[in-house]
Amino acid sequence: MPAQRAAGDPTFYELVQRQVALLSTKGWYHSIELPGGHVIQGMIGVEALKQRLAAFPIPADLTGKRVLDVGAWTGWCSFEMERRGAQVVAVDCVEFEEFREAHRLLGSHVDYRILDVDELTPDSVGLFDYVLFFGVLYHLRNPLLGLEKICAIAKDTAFVESFVTDDGSAPCTLEFYETNELGGQIDNWFGPTVQCAAALCRAAGYARVDLEYVSERRAGLTCRRRWEPPPPHPAEPPPQLYSAVNNRTNDIQFHPGKDEYICLYFRSDVPGLTRDRLRIDIDEYGAPALVLVNLRGQEWQANLRVPPGLAEGPHQVRLRTAESAHSNAFTILMQSPSPRGAGLIPRGASAPPAAITEPPPVIYEVTNGMTGSALFQGHRNEYVCCRFRTPEQSLDRGSVILQIDDADQPVLFLTDLGSGCWQANSRLPAGLKPGPHPVRIRTLRSDLSDLAEIVSK
Amino acid sequence: MAFMGEIEAAVHLPPSAADPNRRKLEELARLGWYHSIELPDGQVIPGFQTIDDSRRRIGQFPVPSDLRGKRALDIGAWDGWFTFELERRGARVLAVDSTSVERFRIARELLGSQAEYRIDDVCRLSPAKIGYFDIVMFLGVLYHLKHPMLALEKVCELSTDMVCVESFVTDDGADLAAKPVMEFYETTELCGQFDNWVGPNTACLLAMCRSAGFARVQLESVLDHRAHIACYRHWPDIDSPQEPAPYLTSVENATTRDREFSSTNDDYVAIWFKSPRADLTPADVFPRIGPYGSHPVILHRTGGDGWQVNCKLPPGLPPGWHAATLRTTDSPWANPVRIGVDLSAEQRRQRPARAACDIRVAIVTDGKTWERNLVHTGLGSCISLWVSGLPESAARDGIAVWLDGDDLPATFLSEPDPQGLRQINAMLPSGALPGDYSVSAAFGDAISAPVPVRLA
């Protein structure tokens, strides 16, 4: 059966118009149960409201939890969350007198704020354990931005309920409503398919997205910020993380507010690893990989979005498979752009020159990081990838010096490959003449290694 | 930024991948340059796109050949061919890209170009940062963005005349009556690149451009899944209008029902007007706010020769008072009515100078019960005055209702009834307390004698 579409569908139009007429006679959208058992009858009955909420895995006991109700309208969900013990903030884009009245009648302590979704930030409302995002998504001109805003303030789970255009079988698309195509209302902008609603939630930065139900052109999704706990008895070996860098700059620095992507390089001995089996964590939050590529053998690359709402400062990146324990951690830095000329990356503590106490490193491979060969074409995105052995244990980028043609090159990143093996990457110096060029490496405590060679075309 | 131009930002594909774009990517990697650049001595830096390709792309848009004295913005400049072409035509150009492209800097030096270069994300651009532009090139960027509407609104805000939008589309543009639909690419669904986010069909791209706040949106062509859309901020002028001008009776913020607007909200302007034409459709009505046209979102008849049209507050209006007006297909512009955008307290106090007149309040009532000198408070409650002595030219925007010293902007002003009385409506403040007050009507420097009213 072809998926029924709501826009331009007369039956749906009539349904919405009937609801609008009903609302104008009822005045209240949600019904509200008062302490004495009396019920203010709204357009949606108490049973229907309870049923909708029950479709989501929201704990019955919310004592000590902070809950945000976005698009609270007359407030049934807010008051229900409060009844379960939560400290609740209710937000709407316009003020409803009915909410205020119910608030008074119930003696509620819910904090009612008039804010647009775009105005919800950790600074304006703080962080929440749970966020209810019911009936809001399709009213937004930038639906993914709205989901990102919610993700940035949700510590645990966001429950998303939305109008959808199909029953779940249609491909991942959004209908766009320029005027009043959807139900004759002008405040509807985008209608996602069920698959698209789930994809938007994942793209917004949630680790796990579960579809709870699809019914009468509405879908419910549970969006969790954390992966399931790692298995108590891992069946697979943990991956080893080589590096985590900004894919625009190959640097560990990221910038608040920019659309940036983390590029992970790692080793995994799990054969045939797939994207859906990867579990990447930034601090305690999970983030799905957008792409997973096998570079060669057991070496892999995964790219992911920087999750929304990361505070300034260092953050730990780790990954695992569904059946493994966590890898080692790698630090990325969330930082506003530095003034011109200032160092982008804090150097390690090992700045002062030290006495030569260690043997020189031994280079066992130097390649063009883009191609894996020793040949460089002169493209901007090429970088030198130098792998070496050293008995030294605690190296950082500031304590390794890479030389090309006897000139020091800043090490863009350094990673411990394990078993005394390390990798240092640097840019190619500008204006390199065609032909072979020597590459050497040393640490602050060692002499220069023997030379290896790269070839510039 | 260009279609396959993101190889540097994209995942490093393994040599073994059997990808249909492999050959394209390898060719690009071999050449290094995406745009070809013609140097002053006639030599050409060969790029993935030939000079002819680039000329064909800009040729899809009616970009004037003489841009002297104009300011141009090239968003997603990449290697810079369009930047340098606009400069060659005489414009002062700012090129913007999300990441610094060394080849742009090389070409700029080789060409002795004066173009400015700025690294920024499109959604973070603003007139406060970079000013306004007569012409904006927005080529090959939209489908890389997670929030396409936000970007189109930003681009509209920065432009004062024309924006050239080029984007990937999912269809060939043959069916413009198709349902506007946009594909969403969660990962690498489009061409194996993970920095492609959305793919609209042509109808959807056109609708989004209109919704962003442009007056006119013109599809120029769709070639090989690339739509070229010229977006204009102005309506064309009428040389010798044949229809009588419409008459504006009221202009309001469609949400708050007052005359103030916020550029950061998605605000809509509701215009009530009278027109002798009984056959108006949205295509016959041309609203204008400040210097910018804004197309009708809804139009309906309010009875008799009265109409209401709603349009988006056009992006990019500076804070202050702006004239709202409209015309019909072949009419002159209607009487202008002032609206305030992001008003400062100082601007809010500014009122237009008016000739002295003798205003008298004949009736005070409310819009619900019509009881005299009694107004019921509560949500959405309004106070209605019937007044005489307003000059013929009085429009709602210059009128205030003073309630014990509170300035309530008029939300409605009727035409004179047979007795010469005109109705003024004003919203009561939401916190108004019951009690005895006095009310007067003010227009310019003239103010009526106060009349008692009880709020119940």
Looking at the DSSP bridge assignments, the partners of residue B200 are B182
Q: One-letter amino acid identity for A368?
A: N
Least confident range from A60-64, A75-79, B160-164, B303-307: namely B303-307
Pair A174, A69 in one domain = yes
- State how beta strands B216-223 and B226-232 pair: antiparallel
Domain span at residue A69? 10-224
Q: Is residue A235 part of a domain?
A: no
Q: How many CB atoms lie within 10 A of CB B452?
A: 10
Contacts with A94 from chain B: Cβ below 8 Å: 255
**What is the per-residue pLDDT across A314-347, written as a single tens digit (0 to 9) for each?**
899 999 999 999 999 988 989 876 544 333 333 3
Looking at the DSSP bridge assignments, the partners of residue A44 are A30
Q: How far is CA B313 from the centre of its chain?
A: 6
Residue pair B66/B90 in contact by the 8 Å Cβ criterion:
yes
Pair A160, A301 in one domain = no
Look up the pTM and report it: 0.76
Q: Contact A380/B103, CB-based, under 8 Å?
A: yes
Q: Which of B194, B211, B255 sits opposite A290 (nearest CB)?
A: B194
Segment (H or E) for B106: helix B102-111
Q: Contact B208/A172, CB-based, under 8 Å?
A: no
Q: How many CB pairs under 8 A join A and B?
A: 125
Contacts with B297 from chain A: Cβ below 8 Å: 178-179, 186
**For chain A, how many structural domains are there in total?**
3
Band of residue B349 on the pLDDT scale cut at 50, 70, 90: low
Through-space distance between the first and last CA atoms of chain A, rounded to whole angstroms: 59
CA distance A338 to A1: 57
Pair A283, A431 in one domain = no
Q: Is residue A425 part of a domain?
A: yes
Read off the DSSP letter of residue B171.
S
Average pLDDT over residues B224-239: 94
Read off the DSSP letter of residue B307.
E
Q: Is residue B133 part of a domain?
A: yes
CA distance B244 to A181: 33
Pair B344, B367 in one domain = no
Q: Which of B146, B181, B379 sits opposite A259 (nearest CB)?
A: B146
Contacts with B147 from chain A: Cβ below 8 Å: 142, 144-145
Pair A167, A284 in one domain = no
Pair A162, A274 in one domain = no
Structure tokens at B150: 């936000």
CA distances from A434 to A189, A407, B111 (A): 56, 17, 26
**For chain B, how many structural domains are there in total?**
3
% of chain A with per-residue pLDDT over 90? 53
From A206, A202, A173, A207, select the one nearest A190 (Cα to Cα).
A173
CA distance B253 to B255: 6
Pair B334, B303 in one domain = yes
Nearest CA in chain B to A165: B181
Contacts with B145 from chain A: Cβ below 8 Å: 259
**What is the per-residue pLDDT across A202-252, written as a single tens digit (0 to 9) for each?**
999 999 999 999 998 999 999 999 999 999 999 999 999 988 888 877 778
CA distance B190 to A125: 37
Nearest CA in chain A to B204: A176
Half-sphere exposure of residue A262: CA atoms within 13 angstroms, side-chain side = 34
pLDDT at A138: 95
Q: Is residue A3 part of a domain?
A: no
Q: One-letter amino acid identity for B188?
A: T
Q: Which of A142, A177, A370 sits opposite B12 (nearest CB)?
A: A370
Q: Is residue B241 part of a domain?
A: no
**Cα angle value A323/A329/A333 (rounded, 5°):** 135
Pair B212, B187 in one domain = yes
Read off the DSSP letter of residue B76.
T
Band of residue A411 on the pLDDT scale cut at 50, 70, 90: confident
Contacts with A97 from chain B: Cβ below 8 Å: 379
Q: Is residue B354 part of a domain?
A: no
Q: Is residue A246 part of a domain?
A: yes
Q: Which of A179, A258, A378 sits opposite B121 (nearest CB)?
A: A258
Band of residue A200 on the pLDDT scale cut at 50, 70, 90: very high
Pair A108, A33 in one domain = yes
Q: Is residue B226 part of a domain?
A: yes
Pair B77, B219 in one domain = yes
Pair B149, B70 in one domain = yes
Helix, strand, coil percent values for chain B (each to nearest 5): 20, 35, 45
Pair B288, B329 in one domain = yes
Pair B66, B178 in one domain = yes
Pair A202, A261 in one domain = no
Pair A304, A196 in one domain = no
Domain containing residue B371: CATH number = 2.60.40.10
Pair A150, A197 in one domain = yes
Residue pair A76/A90 in contact by the 8 Å Cβ criterion:
no
pLDDT at B67: 97
To 10 degrees, what angle do helices A97-106 and A76-83 make? 30
This model of the complex carries an ipTM of 0.74
Domain containing residue A266: CATH number = 2.60.40.10
Q: Contact A380/B187, CB-based, under 8 Å?
A: no
Q: Is residue B337 part of a domain?
A: yes
Residue pair A125/A89 in contact by the 8 Å Cβ criterion:
yes
pLDDT exceeds 50 at position B376: yes
**What is the per-residue pLDDT across A424-442, written as a single tens digit (0 to 9) for each?**
888 877 777 888 999 999 9
From B167, B286, B180, B120, select the one nearest A189 (Cα to Cα).
B180
Structure tokens at B196: 């492609």
Of A319, A334, A349, the residue at which a domain comes to its end is A334
**What is the per-residue pLDDT across B167-214, written as a single tens digit (0 to 9) for each?**
999 999 999 999 999 999 998 788 777 788 999 999 999 999 999 999
Q: How far is CA A204 from the centre of its chain?
A: 6
Band of residue A380 on the pLDDT scale cut at 50, 70, 90: low
Q: Is residue A166 part of a domain?
A: yes
**What is the per-residue pLDDT across B22-47, written as a single tens digit (0 to 9) for each?**
565 555 556 578 899 998 888 888 88
Of B328, B349, B370, the residue at which a domain comes to its end is B349
Domain span at residue B40? 5-232
Pair B139, B66 in one domain = yes
